[in-house]
Amino acid sequence: MEDLIAWLKREGGLRIIEEPLDVELEIPHIAYLEVKKPDSRPLLFTRPVWRAEGIEYTMPVLMNLYANRDLTQKILGKAPDEVAEGIEELMKLKPPKTFREKLGMLPKLFSLKNVFPKRLKFRGECQEIVIPKEEVDLDQLPILKTWPEDGGRFITMGHVYTRSLDGTMQNLGMYRLQQYDKKRLGMHWQIHKDASHFFDQYRDAGEKMPVTVCLGGDPLYIWCGQAPMPHGMFELLLYGFIRGQNAQLVRSLSNDIYIPRDVDIVIEGFVDPEAMEIEGPFGDHTGYYTLPEPFPVLEVETITMKKDPIFPATVVGKPPLEDKYMGWATERIFLPLLKPMAPELLDYKMPENGVFHNLIIAKMQVRYKGHAQQFMHAFWGVGQMSFVKHAIFVDESAPDLEEYEALSRHILQRLDSSKILITEGIVDQLDHASPETLVGGKLGIDATGPVVSDRIEERLGDRVFLEKMRSLAPEVLALRQYFTDTPNPIAVVAVEKKRSAKETIDALMPLSRYIAILIVVDAANNDLENPYMLLWRVVNNIDARRDILLDPFIAVDGTNKNALDGYSRQWPGDTHCDAVTLERLAEKGLVELDSEWIVRWGLLPFRKERTDESDT
C-alpha cells in the first residue's frame, strides 16, 4: 500500500488530510461529500481518532480509491472494454484443426497459465506482524461509523475469503462487517451469495466455518470481490486474467483459507453456525438504512498485518458514490458473459441512481414480436440479474445508453401501456418496498416499437394543472412536468400523505384527459426539480404489482409506504448526514456546504415545494 499511496499521489491526485478526525461520522462525511464532486479524488486521513474511546490511531485511513472513471481504469490497467474483448475472444475459442492453428493458439493458451492463483509455501508481507487471539482487539483498527443511526462501527471495504465444506470451491466477496466488541464481527452475507451457500453446508454438517477478512493490498482485489462471477468460480481468476499474472496466495495462520500475500490487514477466525446475532441498522448503498436482522458472527482468532499498514474504507449511501465507477467497470467487462443467454443484446446500463439492481436499461436487436419480453424473462432468470426489479428495453435506433435525457425522450415516444409487463420474482434482500422480503414485483418495459400517438387530449401548464389537482386532492402540494413535448409527458406531484397514494390517484381520475404518466412522491425529502434523485427515490420505493396502475393512465406510487397502504413491514429511513458534524467540518474548512448542495444530494432532511407560478 505504500507503493499505492505514491501511485495515487502521482496518478489520482490524492488529497492528504492531516487534521485529527473522528472515525465516527467525521471521516466518512468528508469522503461522502468528496465523491459526489465531478472531479472527486481519493483521500488519505493520516490522523484518525476515536474520540468516544480516547484512541489516537497511527494507522491512516484511505478512502475513495475508486474516485472517478479515469482512476478506475488506471487501477484495472486497461480499458474495461479491452478486458471484455479478451473475455469474448476466450469464449469463442475453438479446438484447432491444423498444426498451424495449434501454433497460433499457443500464445493465448500460454497466457492463461497466469489466470490461476498460485499458492505459496511461505508467509507473506501481510503476516509480518502477528496478534494472537488473547491480544486481539478490534478497537485498535480505525473502523468507521458512517451514519448517525448505524448500529455501530462497520468494516466496509473488507474482502472476505470463504471456502466450501469439501474445500473444492473458494470465494471472494465484499460484505459489510459490524464490530460487536473487541473480538467479534457480524457477517452480513446475503442469502443469495456464495458465502451464504457455504455457510449452509457447515451448518448442516455441524462444523464451524473458517473465514478470513483482508483489507488493503492491490485495489483490484476490492473490485473482484464485488464482481458477479458465476457460482463456484473463484473471483481471483478474474484478477489473474486482468493483471496477466497470478494472484499470489499464502495460508492464513489459524485456518486453511488462502489469501493474497500483499494485503495490509488480515482478520482470521471461525463462524459458529449456531451463533447468530442482530446486525444493523446500517446506511446502505440503496440510500436507506438496512433494518436489523440476525446474521452469523465471526469469532476472531488472529490478526496479522504488514508493518505500517493502511486501513481502506468506503462510504455507501445515496448516489453518486464509489460504486458508480466500480459498477461502470463491471457493466463493461461482463457484457460478453450476458450475450450467450441473449445473443441480440447490444449494450446495457445499470444507472447508479437506480442503485444497480433496481433498474437496467438494455439495447437490443429486435428479431421478432415479443423479443423484448423474451429478454425480460432471460434477464430475470440468470445469476445476479435475477434480482433486477425494473428493466427497460430499446432497439438499435435508441441513443447511447448514457445520454439519459435523449434516451428518456426516445423511450417516452414509444411507451405503450400494452407493452408493459408486470410480474413477480425474487428481489434483492436489501429491497424494502416489496410486501415481503426476497419476493416482489417486477416491471418490464418494451420500448422497441414505433413512435406512439399522444396519450393526452390537452396539455396544461404547471400552475393550472396543480390548481385542478388540488381541487380534487388537497393533499397535492406541488407539481412539476417533464418531457411535455413527447406523447407521454410525465407529471410528478408531491403530496402530504394523509391517505394512501392509491386513493389520491383515484381522486385524480377525472383529469385523465390531461395525464399520460403520473408519479406521486412525498413532499418531504423530495425536490421536484431534481430528476436524478427523483428516479433514485421512485425505483427504491415501488413494488410493481402494488404501486403501478396502467389504465386509464400510467400511475406510479413512489411514496414511502405505511399502514395506509396496507404495508406491514417497517419502512427504513433515508441516510442523512449529521448536521452538527457537517457544520463542524465546514467551520474547519474541510468541506464546503451550501443549501443547494444539501438539497441536491439529500444530505439533510428537507422540504422544498415548487413555487414557480408560470403557466408555461
The Cβ of residue 278 has, within 10 Å, a number of other Cβ atoms equal to 14
Instruction: Say which residue the cell 476472531 belongs to.
Output: 300
436 contacts 426 by C-beta, under 8 angstroms: no
For CA atoms 373, 374, 375, 376, the dihedral sign is positive
255 contacts 212 by C-beta, under 8 angstroms: yes
Query: Which of 264, 284, 395, 446 is labelled catalytic?
Result: 284
Could you give the CA distance from residue 374 to residue 133 in angstroms, rounded to a whole number? Answer: 55
| 284 belongs to the catalytic site | yes
Could you give the CA distance from residue 371 to residue 376 in angstroms, rounded to a whole number? Answer: 9
The strand pair at 517-522 and 490-495 is best described as: parallel
Bond prior to 292 in cis (omega within 30° of 0): no
Which residues share a beta bridge with 493?
Answer: 479, 520
430 contacts 281 by C-beta, under 8 angstroms: no
DSSP secondary structure string for all residues of 19-78: S-EETBTHHHHHHHHHTTSTT---EEES-EEEGGGTEE-SS-EEE-TT-SHHHHHHHHTS
| Residue 156 CA: distances (Å) to CA of 30, 141, 537 | 16, 13, 24
Could you give the CA distance from residue 12 to residue 68 in angstroms, rounded to a whole number? Answer: 9
Quick one: cell of 110? 500460454
What value does the CA radius of gyration of the chain take, rounded to a whole number of Å? 25
Residues with a known catalytic role: 284
